[in-house]
Amino acid sequence: MDRAEIKYIKKNATWVTRRKAAKLTTLTERTIDRYIKNGRVYAKKLGSQRVIIAKESLSSDIINSPKPLFI
C-alpha cells in the first residue's frame, strides 16, 4: 500500500464502531484497540471515550502488514 492509498483512506473513510469492526474482522475489541494503538488500524476519537474506525483500514492486507501504516 502506498502513501496515496493511505491518504485516500484517511480522507474518504466509512466509519464503524469498535464492536462492528470486531465483528467484521472476527477479532476481539481488545485486539482492535491494540491495532489502533500500534498504528495498524486508522481510528479517530470522538469526545473522551468514543472511538470510530475507518472500515477501509480493516482489510486483511493492512492488518497483517509487517509494519504499522497509520502512524
Burial class (CB in 10 A: 0-12, 13-18, 19+), 56: middle
pLDDT digits (tens, 9 = 90+) for 37-68: 988 899 998 888 899 999 988 988 877 777 77
**Taking Cα atoms as reference points, which of 46, 48, 19 lies closest to residue 32?**
19
Distance (Å, rounded) from C-alpha 29 to C-alpha 11? Answer: 24
What is the distance between the alpha carbons of residues 65 and 59, in angstroms, rounded to a whole number? 10
Q: In terms of pTM, does the model score above 0.85?
A: no
Chain-centroid distance, C-alpha 6:
11
User: Which domains, ranges and CATH numbers included, belong to the chain?
Assistant: 3-59 (1.10.10)
pLDDT tens for residues 9-36?
Answer: 777 888 999 999 999 999 999 999 999 9
